[in-house]
A and B are shown apart, each in its own frame.
Chain A
Amino acid sequence: MARLFVRRRGGGIEVRLNAAGRAFVAAVAQRVAAAERGDDPGWGPLLASPIEPAGVEDPLVTLGRQRDVATNAELVGLTVGDDELTDAEAWAWLSTLQLALRALADENAITDDDALASSASPIVDQVHTLQLMLFALASCL
């Protein structure tokens, strides 16, 4: 299988995604950013898990988390056409894709392998694509 991301000798991470792969990443980053702005009712609540389930969350903590998630997603949007990523950019890609993967699983009630197997084909494809990209990115970081 072709490697989607490759660590170069110079330290950068080469992106070997084709146009469809880059469009997929761009769409994911756009949706995560929209969710953080409150414009995506499907993913929005899923990205805002409380830190302490039994307690009241500090609004500053919530704001800081929203800002960091949005910053990562926007950085992915800015670099989605690049042939090489820095470590910080690759980390933003990994974080954003991972958030999207979890939100997608929560949205579709994928709680175990059986639930994934019985999900609609387009959802299973999206989950597997995200997992493949994450696996490839993780091997470079």
Chain B
Amino acid sequence: MLSRILALADTGAGAESESATSSATTVERTWDVIVWNDPVTPMDVVVVILRRIFGYSTGRCTQLMLRVHHEGRAVVWTGRRQRAEQYCVRLQVAGLRCTIEQAT
């Protein structure tokens, strides 16, 4: 069995597949999860929601909350689109105004 696996590993097909995957990973764009300011949400609530959903420290959540408050928005997470969508849904379900957009 082991020799068969090693033989398969020596064929060019495996290398080609890896190369294709690597290429796909290279061109995939990252996505930002953005929380938007709103005039009624208590600041402490934003901190609690960010801490619970992302597991960030209270200090980091407070910094992000203040950025939302002063700048109108803050990028709270960046990464692959599917996870960005999942985080965005969780933030929306928790009542925050949130969207995703391609990272620049």
CB neighbours of B98 from chain A (8 A): 49, 51
Interface residues on A, range: 35 or more
Interface residues on B, range: 20 to 34
How many angstroms from the CA of A53 to the CA of B92 in the assembled complex? 14
Contacts of B85-103 to chain A: CB distance below 8 A? 85, 88-90, 92-101
Q: Mark A107-124, 1 if CB is under 8 A from B, else 0.
A: 000111101100000000
Chain A at the B interface: SS class: helix
CB neighbours of A53 from chain B (8 A): 99
Q: Mark B71-92, 1 if CB is under 8 A from A, else 0.
A: 0000000000000010011101
- B18 CB within 8 Å of chain A: no
How many angstroms from the CA of A64 to the CA of B52 in the assembled complex? 19
Known: A94-B48, A110-B39. A51 touches B95 (CB 8 A): no
Contact B101 A52 (CB under 8 A): yes
Contact B52 A141 (CB under 8 A): yes
Number of A-B residue pairs at CB separation under 8 A: 86
Most buried by A among B44, B92, B93, B99: B93
How many angstroms from the CA of A53 to the CA of B85 in the assembled complex? 12
Known: A113-B39, A131-B42, A141-B48. A51 touches B94 (CB 8 A): no
Choose among A49, A69, A131 the residue that contacts B40 (Cβ–Cβ < 8 A): A131
Known: A51-B89, A51-B100, A72-B93. A98 touches B38 (CB 8 A): no
**Chain B residues near A (Cβ < 8 Å):** 38-42, 44-45, 47-49, 52, 85, 88-90, 92-101
- In addition to A49-B99, A102-B38, A135-B42, 8 A-B residue pairs with Cβ atoms within 8 Å of each other are A49-B97, A68-B89, A68-B90, A94-B49, A95-B93, A105-B40, A131-B40, A138-B44
